[in-house]
Amino acid sequence: MDAPSAFADDEMIRFLAAPVPRTVPVQLRKRAMRETAGRGVLLVALMLLVFGVVFSAAFFPRRSIDQWRLDHGPAGEARGRIVSVANTNLSINDVQVKAYRFEFTGPDERRIEGECFYTGRRWKEGADVSVVYSMEDPTLACVKGARLGQMGMGGFAVVLLPLAAVGVFAWWLRARRRVGWLLTHGSLGDFIVESVERTNVTVNKQRQFKITLRRADDGIASVHTLRWHQPNRLELINRRKESGQAIFGLFDPTKPNRIVLPELWMKS
Residue 145 domain flag: yes
Q: Which residue range is the domain that position 193 belongs to?
A: 9-20+186-265
Considering 121, 149, 177, which residue would you say is the last residue of a domain? 149
CATH number at residue 133: 2.40.50
pLDDT digits (tens, 9 = 90+) for 145-179: 999 988 766 666 777 888 888 998 998 999 899 99
Which strands, in side-by-side order, build the sheet including 75-92?
111-119, 95-105, 75-92, 128-134, 141-143
Q: Using CB atoms within 10 A of its CB, is residue 63 exposed (0-12), middle (13-18) or buried (19+)?
A: buried
Q: Which of 104, 123, 149 is the last residue of a domain?
A: 149
Residue 264 has pLDDT above 80, yes or no: no
Position 221 confidence tier, pLDDT thresholds 50, 70, 90: low
Q: What is the pLDDT of residues 15-57, one digit of tens each?
A: 888 888 999 888 888 888 887 777 788 888 888 888 888 877 6
169: left (phi over 0), alpha (psi -120 to 50) or beta: alpha
Q: Is 94 exposed, middle or buried (0-12, 13-18, 19+ CB in 10 A)?
A: exposed
Distance, in Å, from the CA atom of 67 to the CA atom of 112, rounded to the nearest integer, reads 17
160 domain residue, yes or no: no
Residues 261 and 249: beta-carbon distance below 8 Å:
yes
Percent of the chain, pLDDT > 70? 89
**Among 26-35, 53-62, 186-195, 225-234, where is mean pLDDT lowest?**
53-62
pTM: 0.61
Residue 167 within any structural domain of the chain: no
Residue type, position 16, single letter: L
Cross-strand pairs, 213: 193, 224
Higher pLDDT, 266 or 214: 214
Residue-wise pLDDT for 247-256, tens only, equals: 888 988 888 7
Q: How confident is the model at residue 4 (pLDDT cuts 50, 70, 90)?
A: very low
pLDDT at 245 over 70: yes
Domain membership flag for residue 237: yes
Q: Point out the least confidently predicted range of 135-144, 197-206, 214-223.
A: 214-223
Mean residue pLDDT across the chain: 84
Does the pLDDT of residue 265 top 90, yes or no?
Answer: no
**Is 50 inside a domain boundary?**
no
Percentage with pLDDT > 90 across the chain: 31
| Residue 268 pLDDT grade (very low, low, confident, very high; cuts 50, 70, 90) | very low
Note whether residue 137 is domain-resident. Answer: yes
What's the pLDDT band for 1 if we cut at 50, 70, 90? very low
130 and 199, same domain (yes or no): no
Q: Are residues 191 and 145 in the same domain?
A: no
Angle ∠(149,152,153) on CA atoms, nearest 5 = 135
Q: Model confidence over 81-117: pLDDT tens digits?
A: 999 999 998 888 889 999 999 999 999 899 999 999 9
Per-residue pLDDT, 134: 95
The answer to whether residue 180 is domain-embedded is no
pLDDT value at residue 2: 37
Considering the domain architecture, whether residues 191 and 260 belong to the same structural domain is answered as yes
Single out the residue in 149, 174, 195 at which a domain terminates. Answer: 149
Q: Are residues 260 and 208 both part of a single domain?
A: yes
**How many distinct structural domains can be found in the chain?**
2
C-alpha–C-alpha distance, residues 230 and 235, integer Å: 9
Q: Is residue 171 part of a domain?
A: no
